Amino acid sequence: MCDLRQHVEEILQRVHDPARSVDATQVLERLGESADRLNYLYTLLMVIGTSPSFDYRLASAILFKNQMKPRGQLHWGSSEGTSIPPDHPQCATIRSILLQLLNTPLDTRISPHLDIAISLMSTHDYPHHWKELLPHLISQPGLDVIIIRQHVDVMVSMMEEPILSYQKDKREALISASWDLVNFSQMQLNKSLSLYKAEGSSVALSLFRSSQSAIQLVFQRDLIPEGEGRVRYLNVLSQYLEGMIPFITEALEKEDCSDICDSFCKFALDFQSSSPDEFVPFVQNFLEFSFSVLLHDETEIPEDSLISSIHFFHQVLDSPAYRGGPHSSSQGQAIVQNFFSSETTSSLASILISKFMVITSDEISSWGENSEKFANDELQRDWSSDVKSAAQLTFSTLMSNFATLLVPFVTSLLENSLKGVRKFTEIPDAPGDDIVEKEACYWCLSNSPDQLNGLPIEDGLLPHLLADIQRPDTRYKIVRRRICQVIASWAPVVAKFRFVNLKPIVDSLLTLSTGTRSTTLFDDDYAIRLSDPLEAFIPYLGPIVKAITDLITASKEANTIQHLFSAVNGCVRAFRAQIVPFTEGILTCTGNMWKSQEGREGGEIMQASIITCWKNLIEVLGLGSVVYYSFFIEAVMQVTGKGKQSQLREDVLQLWLTLITGAPLTFKPDREFSVEPPREVNEISETYDALDRAFPRISQLMEDETVLPVTLDVLSAYFFRYPSLFLAAHGEFLLVILSKFLESTGNPQSPSADIKMYRTILKIIDGLTVYLGQKNQLSILDSIYTALITIVMRSDWDETLEFQEIHAATSLSRLCLMSQAHFLSLFSRPSQGGASGSDLLNLYLEHWLNRIAPCVFEMDALRIQGFAFTSLLYITSSVIANHIVEILQFLAYSHSQHAFDADTKPSERFSELEWEIFKYDPAIVLSPSFVSTRLNDVFVNYGAAQALQAIPMESSQLITHLMSMASPSAR
């Protein structure tokens, strides 16, 4: 062992030599994997405990911690491939030495590594192999403060480490010891607090910090046992708060206490959120504490503490536990109502606005440099990391709870600012300026639309809004953006008040945005607010659309342009038919923007927004969009061009799909079109020709697996929308695609293993069966049907791909119903195995009935296959007679599942395109009488007893179902 220690220390010496550190570290790692692994770990602990060199001790602590990181299932790892169990004698020795080290004062740079190491070890060793761990940590009085802190730090590390689902024993052990743990930590908290107040000791503050974390973690990790015993824990928590709140209040502005303050404030948030009912006794304390935090100089308080304290008010007011209702606590409700008096609520609102919500001179400067970027950055702010956003969220919650108090309060602030009476901070170097207060007040008013009734809107606020919109001072655009918010949020409510006239406001905004004044005076980003679906704006729709498209052309920043495209989408979705007159302008703007983004960095993101806009426009225009098809197809062909690997492919394929599905039908549709009536046949042909220009792209898109699902959807849409035109032009290509796809079945790595794509292919085949069956041209599909038979009869059965056989059998069932003669003719040809005629049909029926039918559970498949089996009962054939028992069993089961019940809404299983073909599907047309009539014939011809005598007794219930379908005479 001495030789090993000497060897390790020699290597540690090289670790601190930059030229040799990498090689030395690798040597040490190999020692950890060697047969001497446990001796190596023991040696590292000896170095930590006895080496005079601090560098050696620190390096050894780090190495030991890294060796304790999980290795497979056990952190002890292996020695020459043999797992080391945690009950190995040397493992016990190592654990014992670690506890001895914890009872000696360690350097604060070394102890954290051992804390983590012990925590990692406890993941698997505690409690079964290390029962003494927690008792050792919490039951040794009279120890030095440094040693106690080390003990508490280990407990904190153990609780911070995630407790996984399979570590049930560890969790139960921690819960069992939690009472002693909480008491011990509370005692150390009080001890360290007294010591810190007396001496200002950093060691005492460190112990205080650790004890605080330990107590909070017991509650945050829910390590409290259920039942009446929880009360005593809450009593300890009450003592904890009594000591902590005064200390934190005094320590808020002390730099060395910032993390303690942050931790305490976050704990309040977490506890209130996770256990609102248990938090009720403490809510008063935390409300008063959070209010006191906000009264301090905000520049001296840690930002996280500010955010947590501000958000605490929101969380309490937003929690059902403190509001009236079935889930509220009467005690909690009373506490909140008493705290939020008129005076306190007004003071809190004033603090939030004046300290955290007013715009700063730096923000105004940033706005002036790049207003678009500033506005977009502001939209990305999050309350959890930004004080201003937290204040805005809390103020909105205050407004929703105390609107009758706060709306007049904010209005008076605004009126005072208009009179030159300023309450809040002024902008430096601009004496007497009221921009700061107005900007904040307008933001507040934009969050109070439901409280406007009764306010002097038209005579009081609207003139001020109009005046501020028209001010020539370029800095007033910072206020105008807030006015846009006010109008957007007020409009739905204001529209109900007949005495309010929005026209002057909207006219002024549009004047600013369309160029009679400098465009720079208008806040581009907030122009999108006017695109909300508001009836009040319908008279201004034309100017609004023009204003937004002009802003798209003038704007330079991508994020703003995307927001403006969202505005166009909002107008299209909200106003629908009213948007039609402005289509040309929208397409001109978006078309120019599309071309300008080609090849630019980030251009495809912009083009994706444009595609979304086009899809919405096509949907709204309906048949009226046909005149623009050439325009859209150009974009499709541009993105899908040969050799292009664009991220836009899927987006543009969805656009392509929208074009096809929205195109005129070759037959009269079952719905009313909102824009134009159905086109004549020659116009249909012209529309198809426009779409057909892009079809050659399909061939190369079929090679791109990333877009293959939607490519197949496009292919399907072509067939179902224009079956005759499409098959005449591309029928052979379609058969090749279908054949290749079916040939790949059975391979889990092929596209056919994707059930969605496989269903799409089979639906095309089913549609072809119905369509060509009506024209007596089913022989065109014989190669496809042969491939389906092969799939049904394949011998290499794979349960993960059984859906392929089931759907193939269902498609052949549909063929059987469409033309029984053609179905049977497929079995008169020699197969690859040499079987033909009755032998091949017999083999097929055996596979179908014995392997596939028992796996059919989908109602549609049960129905179709049941009807197909019924149709085969009409055949006088020894092959059918041989399988009549199995057929009757399947029919009985299908009937028991109500598969033959009247199909009242068959069209819901198909898209509008597909239904135009599938409404002629025999499986849709047939009724339950088709089955019952044939069963009557079977029972009469065969005799019920003779036909059913071979069915096993356990099938008697199914037989009952079967017999219920036949007439009384047959039974």
In order, the DSSP letters of 553-601 are HH---HHHHHHHHHHHHHHHHHHGGGGGGGHHHHHHHHHHHHHHHTTST
Token representation of residue 561 = 């342009």
Q: Rounded mean pLDDT of the chain?
A: 77
What residues have CB less than 8 Å from 394, skipping those under 6 apart? Answer: 310, 311, 313, 314, 352
Give the per-residue pLDDT at 678.
40
Average pLDDT estimate for 147-162: 82
Q: Is the peptide bond before 127 cis (omega within 30 degrees of 0)?
A: yes
Mind listing the pLDDT tens digit for each residue in 290-306?
888 888 877 777 788 88
Mean pLDDT of 132-155: 81
Position 327 pLDDT exceeds 60: no
Distance CA 464, CA 461 (A): 5
Residue 553 confidence class, pLDDT cut points 50, 70, 90: confident
Q: Label residue 228 by pLDDT band (50, 70, 90).
A: low
Select the more confidently predicted residue: 371 or 242: 242
Q: How confident is the model at residue 152 (pLDDT cuts 50, 70, 90)?
A: confident
pLDDT digits over 422-448, tens only?
554 444 444 345 677 778 877 877 766
Q: What is the largest CA-CA distance in the chain?
A: 108
Mean local confidence (pLDDT), 473-499: 61
- β-strand partners of 83: 78
DSSP label at residue 457: I
- For residue 571, tell me if it sits in a domain: no
pLDDT for the residue 482: 74
Structure tokens at 879: 């092959």
Which of residues 523 and 436 earns the better pLDDT score? 436
Q: Is residue 187 part of a domain?
A: no
At residue 673, does pLDDT exceed 50? no
**pLDDT tier, 679 (very low <50, low <70, confident <90, very high otherwise):** very low
pLDDT at residue number 674: 32
pLDDT value, residue 344: 92
What backbone torsions phi and psi does residue 82 show, to the nearest 5 degrees? -100, 125
Q: Is residue 76 part of a domain?
A: yes
Q: Is the pLDDT of residue 720 over 70?
A: yes
> What is the mean predicted confidence (pLDDT) over 257-275?
79
pLDDT band at 669 (very low <50, low <70, confident <90, very high): very low
576 lies in some domain: no
CA atoms within 13 A on the CB side of 959: 15
For residue 717, the model assigns a pLDDT of 92
Mean pLDDT of 508-527: 41
Residue 831 DSSP SS3:
coil
470-479, 486-495, 573-582: the lowest-pLDDT one? 486-495
Q: Which helix (H) or strand (E) holds 504?
A: helix 503-514
More confident residue, 201 or 731: 731
Whether 60 maps to a domain, the answer reads: yes
Distance, CA of 711 to CA of 718 (rounded, Å): 11
- What string of DSSP letters covers 344-397? HHHHHHHHIIIIIISPPHHHHHHHHH-HHHHHHHHHT--TTT-HHHHHHHHHHH
The DSSP string of 910-948 is S-HHHHHHHTT-HHHH--THHHHHHHHHHHHHH-HHHHH
Q: What is the pLDDT of residue 761?
A: 93
Quick one: pLDDT at residue 822?
92
Name the residue with higher pLDDT: 637 or 430: 637
For the segment 612-629, the average pLDDT, to the nearest whole number, is 85
Residue 510 has pLDDT above 60, yes or no: no
The confidence score (pLDDT) of residue 677 equals 38
Question: Is the predicted pLDDT of residue 488 greater than 70, yes or no?
Answer: no
Q: Can you give the pLDDT at residue 163?
A: 67
- Which pLDDT belongs to residue 247? 80
Which is higher by pLDDT, 743 or 566?
Answer: 743
Measuring CA to CA, how many Å separate 643 from each of 323, 382, 640, 704, 737? 62, 42, 8, 11, 21
Q: Domain of 59? A: 1-125
Cα distances (Å, whole numbers) of residue 6 to 3, 10, 15, 65, 206: 5, 6, 14, 21, 36
Cβ atoms within 10 Å, residue 334: 12
Q: Concatenated DSSP letters for 755-770?
A: HHHHHHHHHHHHHHHH
Instruction: Please determine, for residue 66, whether its predicted confidence score (pLDDT) is greater than 80.
Output: yes
Q: Is the pLDDT of residue 141 over 70?
A: no
Q: Which two tokens stand for residue 246?
A: 């005064």
How confident is residue 214, by pLDDT bands cut at 50, 70 and 90? confident
Comparing 169-178, 327-336, 592-601, 732-741, which segment has the lowest mean pLDDT? 327-336
| Residue range 322-328: mean pLDDT, rounded | 61
User: How much is the pLDDT for 70?
Assistant: 65
- pLDDT score at 812: 92
The DSSP line for 60-88 is HHHHHHHHTS-BTTBTT-EETTEE--TT-
Contact residues for 695 (Cβ-Cβ < 8 A; gap 6+):
718, 729, 730
The answer to whether the predicted template modeling score (pTM) of the entire model surpasses 0.75 is: no
| Per-residue pLDDT, 943 | 52
Length reported for the chain = 971
Q: Between these two residues, 504 and 82, which has the higher pLDDT value?
A: 82
Q: With CA atoms as reference, report the closest residue to 744 among 809, 808, 800, 791.
A: 791
pLDDT band at 535 (very low <50, low <70, confident <90, very high): low
- Average pLDDT, integer, range 745-751: 79
- Please tell me which residue, 30 or 488, carries the higher pLDDT value: 30
Q: Is the pLDDT of residue 503 over 80?
A: no
Distance CA 136, CA 139 (A): 6
Q: Residue 473 has what pLDDT?
A: 67
Each residue's pLDDT tens digit, 893-929:
887 777 777 766 777 778 888 888 988 888 887 887 8
> What is the reported pLDDT for 489?
63
Q: What is the number of structural domains in the chain? A: 1
Q: What is the mean pLDDT of residues 27-40?
A: 82
Give the pLDDT confidence score for residue 508 in this predicted structure: 52
Average pLDDT over residues 805-831: 86
Question: Two tokens at 96?
Answer: 């014992």
| Residue 850 pLDDT > 50 | yes
Task: Tell me whether residue 54 is in a domain.
Answer: yes
Whether the predicted pLDDT of 862 surpasses 80: yes
Query: What is the model's pLDDT at position 173?
Result: 83
Work out the average pLDDT over 622-629: 83
Q: Residue written as tokens 């990790």?
A: 221
- Position 75 scores a pLDDT of 66
pLDDT for residue 969 is more than 60: no
Count CB neighbours of 831 within 10 A: 17
Name the β-bridge partners of 79. Answer: 82
Q: What is the mean pLDDT of residues 9-26?
A: 79
Q: Which of 257-271, 386-400, 513-527, 692-706 is least confident?
A: 513-527
Question: Three-class SS of residue 858?
Answer: coil
Q: Name which residue leads in pLDDT, 935 or 181.
A: 181
pLDDT of residue 523: 41
Let me know if residue 962 belongs to a domain.
no
pLDDT confidence tier of residue 675, bands split at 50, 70 and 90: very low
Q: Point out the least confidently predicted range of 493-497, 504-508, 594-598, 655-659.
A: 493-497
- State yes or no: pLDDT of 312 exceeds 50: yes
Q: Could you tell me the two tokens for 593? A: 């923007």
The answer to whether residue 394 is domain-embedded is no
